[in-house]
Chain A
Amino acid sequence: MELTPARLPRWILVLAAVGGLFVVLPLVAMALRVDWVHFVPLVTSESARAALLLSLRTSISATMLCVVFGVPMALVLARTSFRGQRILRSLVLLPLVLPPVVGGIALLYTFGRRGLLGGTLEALGVDIAFSTTAVVLSQAFVALPFLVLSLEGALRTVGTRYEAVGATLGATRWTVLRRITLPLVLPALISGAVLSFARALGEFGATLTFAGSLQGTTRTLPLEIYLQRETDPDAAVALSLILVVVAIAVVGAAHRVRPLGSLAPARPVAPALRRAVDTH
């Protein structure tokens, strides 16, 4: 049952409008400051293009890392139960609420040259310091919870009934996962991956602290904006607008695949189940 707006108390609408303006107005204010005459040269300068390309490249890599490790993590959290699981879930989601600069310091003390794993990595001939790899690690660290959270919620919502039926019909664990579980939560997986990508794209604090800032290697778009602000505020605003547009597109895309609010499967369950059964 849905409430029509008319049935809400009026003050709720007022507060909602103020809240909405609070989010939208700063974006409008920034768009108003854009120097449209020089917009194209500002956002296509060599340093801007290098930053945008690096951002896209690293964010895609980070998203892939998130999928590779986040899907198993979500499955473990949603489909198993063990002591300390709730604590583990909280820990996994920690980067969501952690200031990114704290994440950067933590990564530095882990993967840095003198960090926990620094000696091991050096022995293996891996040098992460000031490399693009460090950027990808920073981004994956802050983006991973988005995928895990999104997918775990969907897995819990679809439940285990179809998986159980599939198993009784003789499907192996891998078949159940591949033919039933993952197809059921595919929309959530996609929207989770898109959100992770968006978070990776915006990563700033951890990258600055852990990876450094060098054009083409570690200076992603947010770092470029931060630096340009020092001498060329117009360029900073123009690049910020690019990032906002990309962000809106990304969030919009995720919303199309699966409304961010709804956790119900976007496609009917029966075909997935039928396909799973057909193969056996």
Chain B
Amino acid sequence: MGRMRFRTRGQRLLLLPAALIAALGISACGADETAGSADTTAHSGGGSITVFAAASLKEPFTALADQFEDAHPGTDLTLNFAGSSDLATQLVEGAPADVLASADESTMERVRGADLLDGEPVTFATNILQLAVPPDNTAGIASLADAARPGVKTVVCAAQVPCGAAAARLQEAADVDLAPVSEESSVTDVLGKISSGEADAGLVYVTDVRAAGETVLGIAVPEAADVVNTYPVAALAGSQDPGTARDFVDFVVGDDGRAVLEAAGFGAP
């Protein structure tokens, strides 16, 4: 009996926090975790800066940070990738950072509105949408109109996030009315539904298709050229090392940045 009581007491201990976790429900996301680690980065000066960048910039900015560190010995870059809107919220709530590169202008405007920018934002890249389908393209999608056919499971981003706003403008430009089976919160979620074969087609950025490699197939949409997403970058007013922050912005906007971004599929500003 004694052993059993011990066990039930253990269960009791487990139940209360478990109940609270359950009640609060929403679990932490990867993006928030990376934000947490960036927050703890000390601004010790000596060329140590934190860069907040849109999730879609992960590959080119990781490469650019390495190049920048090589070109400026002694500097140390910490990168924090998340959805642009998450980044803006974190900055407005006081997260310490030195540079912001966002995937749309409205996010940058929010941060500018909070008086957090050091100087003017500079547009450094553009991105356009593309149709993504599973590699075997079982639904036989060849155009945006195909993705609007009844019975085709098409996934887009929700209108609240930049890729969803762009998807809405693209549908208007192409005069196609998609009836999506799901409106996801991020491009990653759209890609996941397509690469797993759960959906037949989805609208994502051309850079996402390239980064996804073999897992999805990209189909160009002619009208996408009229719906261009621009990426602005700016140094932040709260920087402990404004010189290095501005240097990095110049580096991203300059020839080195251009080459890396182009290789990742981003267009010129």
Contact = CB atoms under 8 A, between A and B. Distances in A.
Interface string B158-172: 101100000000000
Interface in B234-259: none
A208 interface: yes
Instruction: Name the residue among B180, B185, B199 with the largest chain A CB count within 10 angstroms.
Output: B185
Contacts of B160: 227-228, 230-232
A149 B11 contact: yes
Interface of B: 4, 7-8, 11-12, 14-16, 18-20, 22-27, 83, 85, 89, 153, 155, 158, 160-161, 180-185, 189, 192-193, 196-199
Contacts of A222: 25-26
Nearest to B184: A213
Contacts of B22: 143, 146, 195, 198-199, 202, 247
A190 interface: no
B15 A204 contact: no
A69 to B, nearest CB: 18
A116 to B, nearest CB: 13
26 contacts: A99-B27, A108-B198, A112-B197, A112-B198, A113-B197, A113-B198, A114-B198, A130-B181, A149-B11, A150-B15, A153-B11, A157-B8, A195-B15, A198-B23, A208-B189, A212-B155, A212-B181, A212-B183, A212-B193, A213-B158, A214-B180, A227-B158, A227-B161, A227-B185, A244-B23, A263-B11
Nearest to B30: A101
Interface residues of A, number: 58
Q: Closest 8 CB pairs between A and B?
A: A202-B25, A212-B182, A247-B23, A199-B22, A114-B197, A130-B181, A230-B160, A231-B160
A224 to B, nearest CB: 10
A205 interface: yes
A140 interface: no
B198 A263 contact: no
B197 A260 contact: no
B185 A263 contact: no
Contacts of A112: 196-198
Nearest to A142: B22
Contacts of A92: none
Contacts of A225: 26
Given A113-B197, A153-B8, A208-B189, A101 B181 contact: no
A108 B199 CA distance: 12
Contacts of A153: 7-8, 11
Contact of A214 (B15, B19, B20, B182): B182
A244 B19 CA distance: 12
B185 A129 contact: no
Contact of B26 (A198, A213, A226): A226
A260 B19 contact: yes
Most B Cβ at <10 Å: residue of A109, A113, A156, A232? A113
A268 interface: no
Contact of B185 (A198, A208, A232): A208
A139 B155 CA distance: 22
A48 interface: no
B89 A233 contact: yes
A235 to B, nearest CB: 10
A208 B31 CA distance: 15
A125 interface: no
